[in-house]
Chains A and B, each alone.
Chain A
Amino acid sequence: MDLERNVEHLLVDLWGAEGEGRTVPESKRTPREPALLAEMVTRGLLSSARAPLQLTEHGTLCAREVVRRHRLAERLLADVLDVRGSLITESACQFEHILHQGLDDRICTILGHPKSCPHGYAIPPGECCARAEATGVRVVSSLADLPPGTPGTIAYLHAAESDRLKKLMAMGCLPGQKVRVIRNFPSYVFQMGFSQFAVDRDIANEIFVRISRS
């Protein structure tokens, strides 16, 4: 079991360095356990056990899946179960293991196909995202897909450009704020606190709302 967790951790770190160009400390990318490296080479995840470690094609795919499950689990914990702080990461490590065999796509759909984890890292999209599946049960939805009148709380923002994020911040449009869509045509109008805002579809798509059940 421990071995399994270590395999996944190394996959995530290598993915971070290769797939996302993130700065991951050298020590994390070259662990000193030969048994772990040997196991991963046997499984065809690593091309060799020597530094610099390189993921194989199969390894990259596996790493992407692990990252996706882990970050979806974090989203689920944060948005649905209201878990906060460092507990998110810890619980997600346990949680991700049950999200196999298509369960990840179902969670992803209920969460409104989130694009980033609570820490802001991108969630690799699954097949369900490409098909933009919708179900009757939705817990989180982008503001653009929210029917008028539905009350909710901003869960997180996914702004593609930092410029746009700054605009949202200037509007006070931040996680935790209560919102309610008033109109969705010809543009989006929503109530937030005591103010109303009008935004276009691009911006409405970047505000994710946790739907409140009244």
Chain B
Amino acid sequence: MSAAIRDARPVEYPAAVEECIERLDSLLGDSYTISRRAVALLLMQEDPDILAQVREREDAATVAAVQAVLVDVRRSLPRSAGYWIAVARQERASAVARRALALPPEGVVSARERLSRLTMNPWTGIPLLLVILFAFYELVGVFGAGTMVNWLEHGLFGDVLNPHVTRFVEWAIPWPWLQDLFVHENGIWTLGVTYAAAIILPVVATFFIAFSILEDSGYFPRLAMLIDRLFKTIGLNGRAVIPMVLGFGCDTMATMVTRVLETKRERIIATFLLALAVPCSAQLAVTMGVLSAYPMAVVLWATFVLGVFLVIGWLAARVLPGPAASFYMELPPLRVPQIGNVLSKTFSRMQWYFLEIVPLFILVSVLIWIGNLTGVFPLLIKAMTPLVRFLSLPDEMASVMLFGFFRRDYGAAGLYNLSQQGVMSGRQLLVAAVTLTLFIPCVANFLIMKKERGLKATLLMTAVILPLAFLTGFAVNAILVVLRVPL
């Protein structure tokens, strides 16, 4: 820096702050690695580390005196000393910058900036959002969940690996009931490992790639800005778009990502809405597959689920105590994502995801094994039959719903078979799809909810979600019957 720009004078703070610095300076000892003035300033900014250091190095009387000074300055100034310190520093920094920087002329709007503004104007931003969602769906839904799952699940695992593993287990373990733990319909290998590697892997990988591309482009903060007002009505703020978008990939992972939200209230509402009304990629795939013959039903399904999301979110925001969340976010410039960054992010996310999720799938296999072995599952299915009839659905739906909770594709396959057999009408399929979407997506999601929000909150949410799913299914059925909607 040239001499004309350099400014070595210490920053001048308001009189009350300077006075406090002097008082602290006279109290503190010499054992700090930084100057006493710096220690005093950090203390006034309520830095927890420096307070710990002072506690360590000074005797009790000095610590008490220091704290008395800090209480004094807190009382004599209408705002925290930290604020006045920041203001004074900002003033000095701006003065230096004014001398050192030649600013580009104002009023020139670059092409990048123009695109950025288009994403934030609702008239252009919403159509743009729809285009992005469509591309997202093509990559994750069609390529990941369709082409790749098909190849891995049926090709690699179904035809090549699983027969060998099954033969080996049947040879090594003579008792069929124990063989079931590892292979056959719900074994650790055939359910846990196959499910994780052949179904979850491609869906999650393509989803994370698409997500990382959007993240690196700087689009999410703009989407957050666009959607903040809507999210405020359901007790969240624009920041919550990130976990919500993730939820369309996997609600379990999205529930973990609710950690980015600032208040406990927001985290509870977000966890609840994710479990209730944000369909994960598996739920989406089932719904689209089953309802594909009835385009009208897809539209109605989306309308009902979105309706529940907004109405229940609105109610949750009213019921849960606590202040409304405020929204503020920096908007980074829009950038073209770099392939290297996208891949390394995708890789580390998948690693993290598999370490957290795969053990849960293995646990699920064990649970199903115990459930079938002890006869608990057949009993549960019997208990659920009246509920299924309440929705005017065939009895077979009971097992679809129960197994669907433990293993999504299993429920999906069951529902798909029912629809193929033609035992269900379009109306019944729509009712089943809405009810299954509102259910907690899977047992992994339930376990993560327990881990993140605690057992009590999770049981409470479940106690709301289960009846709500059935009642909504019932209401949808009643509406369709009364209005004679042709499906």
Binding site for B on A (CB under 8 A): 23, 86, 116, 119-122, 151, 162, 164-169, 171-172, 174-177, 182-183, 185-187, 189, 195-200, 202-203
Contacts and interface: CB of A to CB of B under 8 A. Distances in A.
Contacts of A189: 120, 225, 331
Given A197-B328, A200-B326, A200-B327, A186 B228 contact: yes
Contact of A177 (B77, B90, B326): B90
A198 B331 contact: yes
B90 A176 contact: yes
Contact of B330 (A116, A119, A120, A171): A171
Given A120-B79, A165-B79, A199-B328, A175 B87 contact: yes
A98 B377 CA distance: 85
A205 to B, nearest CB: 11
B23 interface: no
The 5 closest A-B pairs by CB, nearest first: A120-B78, A198-B225, A196-B331, A200-B327, A174-B90
Contacts of B94: 176-177
Given A172-B90, A174-B90, A187 B326 contact: no
A153 B388 CA distance: 64
Contacts of B326: 164, 167, 199-200, 202-203
Contacts of A86: 15
B329 A198 contact: yes
B226 interface: yes
A200 B232 contact: yes
A162 B222 CA distance: 27
Contact of A121 (B78, B221, B228): B78
Contact of A200 (B76, B122, B237): B237
A136 B224 CA distance: 34
A165 B222 CA distance: 23
26 contacts: A23-B76, A120-B77, A165-B79, A167-B328, A169-B83, A169-B86, A171-B328, A172-B90, A174-B90, A175-B90, A175-B91, A176-B87, A176-B90, A182-B117, A186-B122, A187-B228, A187-B229, A189-B120, A189-B331, A196-B330, A198-B224, A199-B326, A199-B327, A200-B229, A200-B328, A203-B326
Contact of A197 (B15, B87, B229, B329): B329
B330 A197 contact: yes
A175 B228 CA distance: 26
B80 to A, nearest CB: 6
Given A120-B77, A166-B82, 4 more contacts: A169-B83, A182-B117, A186-B229, A199-B327
Nearest to A149: B107
Contacts of B80: 162, 165
Nearest to B94: A176
B167 interface: no
Contacts of B328: 167-168, 171, 197-200, 203
B87 A174 contact: yes
A196 B122 CA distance: 18
B75 interface: yes
Contacts of A171: 328, 330
Given A174-B90, A176-B91, A183 B120 contact: yes
Contacts of A200: 228-229, 232, 237-238, 326-328
